């Protein structure tokens, strides 16, 4: 089972540099509509599917970015499948 990460902190400075860098990368991929890169990253860290950029006022996670940026249904479906997989044993190969 995948344990989804949820933010308990909203202050960027409370996180380590390496973690902020990884989280910013995930947020940048979603913001820039780089769905291929996003799904590669979510394949490595599916537990981060619901995380916004640390310190973000919008609180937009990858699914919010997909909807906001008018992603196709296929991309939105893949993001929601990662969320669904949080209740499953492992991420399917097609999401890695």
Do 51 and 61 touch, CB atoms closer than 8 A? Answer: yes
pLDDT per position as a tens digit, 78-87: 777 776 666 5
Residue 86: per-residue pLDDT: 61
pTM recorded for the entire structure = 0.75
pLDDT at 76: 74
Burial class, 22, CB count within 10 angstroms (exposed 0-12 / middle 13-18 / buried 19+)? middle
């Amino acid at each position: 089972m995948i344990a989804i990460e949820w933010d308990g902190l909203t202050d960027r400075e409370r996180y380590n540099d390496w973690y902020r860098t990884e989280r910013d990368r995930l947020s940048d991929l979603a913001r820039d509509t780089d769905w291929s890169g996003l799904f590669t990253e979510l394949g490595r860290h599916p537990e981060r599917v619901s995380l916004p950029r640390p310190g973000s006022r919008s609180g937009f996670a990858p699914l919010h970015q997909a909807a906001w940026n008018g992603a196709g249904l296929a991309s939105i479906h893949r993001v929601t499948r990662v969320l669904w997989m949080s209740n499953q044993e492992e991420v399917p190969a097609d999401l890695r």
